[in-house]
Structure 1
Amino acid sequence: MCRHLAYVGPELSLGDLLVAPAHSLLRQSWEPRRQRYGTVNADGFGVGWYAPGDRAPARYRRAGPIWADLSFADLARVVRSTAVLAAVRDATLAGADAEAAAAPFASGRWLFSHNGAVPGWPDAAAPLVRTLPPVDLLSLPARTDSAFVWALVLHRLRAGDGPERALCETAREVARAAPAARLNLLLTDGTTIAATAWGDSLWYRTEPGRGTVVASEPYDDDPLWREVPDRTVLTADSTGVLLAPADDPAAVPSKEPCT
Structure 2
Amino acid sequence: MCRHLAYLGEPVALGELLLRPEHGLLRQAWAPRTQSSGVVNADGFGVGWYADGDPVPARYRRTGPVWGDLSFADLGRVVRSGALLGAVRGATLPGADGEAAAAPFASGPWLFSHNGAVPGWPGALTGLAATLPAGELLALEARTDSALLWALVLHRLRAGDAPGDALAATVREVAGASPGARLNLLVTDGSAITATAWRNSLWYLTGPGRVVVASEPYDDDPRWREVPDHTLVTATRTDVVLTPLKEPSA
Return the TM-score normalized by structure 1. 0.94
Could you tell me which residue of structure 2 aligns to residue 73 of structure 1? 73
Could you tell me which residue of structure 1 aligns to residue 134 of structure 2? 134
SS of alignment partner, residue 56 of structure 2: coil
SS of alignment partner, residue 17 of structure 2: helix
Q: Deviations over 1:26-79 (max 9, x none)?
A: 111011111100100000000000001110000000000000001000000000
Paired residues for 1:239-254 under 5 Å: 239-247=238-246
Could you tell me which residue of structure 2 aligns to residue 256 of structure 1? none
Farther off after superposition, 25-34 or 103-112: 25-34
Could you tell me which residue of structure 2 aligns to residue 252 of structure 1? none
Distance in 2 of aligned mates of 1:246 and 1:83: 26
Note if contact 2:92-2:117 (Cα within 8 Å) is conserved in structure 1. no
Question: Which one-letter code corresponds to 1:242 in the other structure?
Answer: V
Question: Which one-letter code corresponds to 2:225 in the other structure?
Answer: R
1:121 matched to 2:121 = yes
| Identity value in percent | 70
Deviation at 1:193, TM superposition (A): 0.1
Note if contact 1:40-1:91 (Cα within 8 Å) is conserved in structure 2. no
1:145 matched to 2:145 = yes
Could you tell me which residue of structure 2 aligns to residue 230 of structure 1? 229
Could you tell me which residue of structure 2 aligns to residue 109 of structure 1? 109
SS of alignment partner, residue 143 of structure 1: coil
Paired residues for 1:53-68 under 5 Å: 53-68=53-68
Please provide the CA RMSD for this pair.
1.1
Paired residues for 1:82-231 under 5 Å: 82-209=82-209, 211-231=210-230
Farther off after superposition, 200-209 or 188-197: 200-209
Q: 1:208 to 1:65 in 2, by over 3 A?
A: same
Deviation at 1:92, TM superposition (A): 4.1
Distance in 2 of aligned mates of 1:94 and 1:245: 34
Note if contact 2:172-2:247 (Cα within 8 Å) is conserved in structure 1. no
Question: Which one-letter code corresponds to 1:230 in the other structure?
Answer: D
Distance in 2 of aligned mates of 1:31 and 1:122: 28
Note if contact 1:207-1:240 (Cα within 8 Å) is conserved in structure 2. no
Note if contact 1:202-1:216 (Cα within 8 Å) is conserved in structure 2. yes
Distance in 2 of aligned mates of 1:154 and 1:147: 10
Structure 2 unaligned runs (5+)?
none
Return the TM-score normalized by structure 2. 0.97
Name the count of aligned residue pairs.
248
Deviation at 1:91, TM superposition (A): 4.3
Distance in 1 of aligned mates of 2:187 and 2:129: 22
Structure 1 unaligned runs (5+)?
250-259
Distance in 2 of aligned mates of 1:152 and 1:26: 29
Question: Which one-letter code corresponds to 1:59 in the other structure?
Answer: R
Deviation at 1:20, TM superposition (A): 1.2
Distance in 2 of aligned mates of 1:245 and 1:50: 30
Deviation at 1:142, TM superposition (A): 0.2
Distance in 2 of aligned mates of 1:29 and 1:96: 20
SS of alignment partner, residue 127 of structure 2: helix
Paired residues for 1:32-51 under 5 Å: 32-51=32-51
Could you tell me which residue of structure 2 aligns to residue 255 of structure 1? none
Note if contact 1:66-1:88 (Cα within 8 Å) is conserved in structure 2. yes
Note if contact 1:61-1:102 (Cα within 8 Å) is conserved in structure 2. yes
Deviation at 1:90, TM superposition (A): 0.8
Deviation at 1:22, TM superposition (A): 1.2
Deviation at 1:130, TM superposition (A): 2.3
